[in-house]
Structure 1
Amino acid sequence: MSMELDFDEKSYKELMQALEDVSKNCPDYIEKTLKKEGQDFVKAVKKEAKSAVEEHTGNLTKGFRLGSVQNVAGCYTIDFMAEGKKNPHWHLIEKGHEMKIPYTRKGKPRSDGGQITGFVPGRQILRPVLKEWDKEHGKRVEQTLEKLKEDGKL
């Protein structure tokens, strides 16, 4: 998915200057805002995951978590992790997997690793959430900058 933005050089420089000012003047506000955005993103992914999967057993959404806010060369990031100790099979749901019978009828492990009986297609849970999030996130950034201007922090 490609997205083109039409900026003239002056407005681009003004936007970058405003973001740098926010980064220097109120890093705690940026961290607080990023954590809130991350929590909202986790909620959206949980909602999508629950609607995409028919059976609601196990720990599918319990392992979703956020990393700490990191500042790398003036760029603030926060990581979303979907797979961990509580739900180690997230990639199987997201991308799909082969169904295997790993044991013989007598209960012994198969020497070939298992008989493949079919394929379960992936659910693609993150992709639609990210598409929707891209639309909303730009608006939220603009609202945050407007709020900072009103508060006199810019």
Structure 2
Amino acid sequence: MSDEIDFEFDTATFDELRESLEKVAKRYPDYAEKELKKEGREFSKAVRKEALSATDKHTGNLTKGFRLGPVKHINGVILEEFMAEGRKNPHWHLVENGHEIITPFKKNGKKLKNGGKCVGFVPGKRIVSAVLKNWGGKHEERLRRVLQRVKDDAGL
């Protein structure tokens, strides 16, 4: 048996396909970057909404520090980083992951007898993972629409 495959094709059709694929390759990064920024904003809104509904107290800057990093192109992958912790909300990790309750060491400059002991644990809210569970299906559908627009523009 032979492992060779024979096929014939029309060179005009092949040239049209090649040109269309080149158009897609040129336009795709622009479309992807634009849509990724849009998705990032939507994700940030969803995390903010979930954070406010998952927490009891709404004082402070818990959701003020949410920001998106610049769009990066790394080895053919286009990505944008969501950052939830910064100068405006340095305690996000405590809400997300949970934390121990520790008694204070000093009060009015005097060392306390039972200071520094763990007296309990506050479980984490796991806000980002809850948003990611619901995000998958919607995100996939929006990506399908973007790919269809790229195909339509390229004439495929």
Establish whether TM, by shorter chain, passes 0.5. Answer: yes
Whether 1:70 aligns to 2:44 is no
Distance in 1 (alpha carbons) for counterparts of 2:127 and 2:59: 17
Question: Which residue of the partner structure matches residue 49 of structure 1?
Answer: 51
| Partner Cα distance (1:83, 1:19) in 2 | 41
The one-letter code of the counterpart of 2:41 is Q
Aligned to 1:8: none
2:99 aligned with 1:84? no
The DSSP-based 3-state class of the residue aligned with 1:102 is coil
Over residues 110-146 of structure 1, what are the superposed CA-to-partner deviations in whole Å (9 max), with x where a residue is unaligned? 5997122211111110111011111211111111111
| Aligned residue in 2 for 1:123 | 125
Q: Percent identity?
A: 54
Contact 2:31 2:146 in 1 (8 A): no
Pick from 30, 33, 36 the counterpart of residue 35 of structure 2. 33
Letter in 1 for 2:143: V
Number of corresponding residues: 137
Matches within 5 A, 1:95-106: 95-104=97-106
Task: Name the amino acid aligned to 2:144.
Answer: E
The CA deviation string for residues 75-121 of structure 1, in whole angstroms up to 9 with x for no partner, is: 10000001111111111001110111223455435599712221111
Separation (CA, whole Å) in 2 of partners of 1:46 and 1:23: 35
Give how far 1:56 is off. Answer: 0.1
Aligned to 1:132, which of 128, 134, 138?
134
Structure 2: stretches of 5+ with no match in the other structure: 1-19
Q: Rg larger in 1 or in 2?
A: 2
Secondary structure of the 1:117 match is strand
Cα deviations across residues 50-81 of structure 1 (Å, max 9, x unaligned)?
00001000000000000000001111000000
1:78 is matched by which residue type in structure 2?
A: E
SS at match of 1:97: strand
CA distance 1:53–1:19, change in 2 (3 Å): farther
Contact 2:24 2:154 in 1 (8 A): no
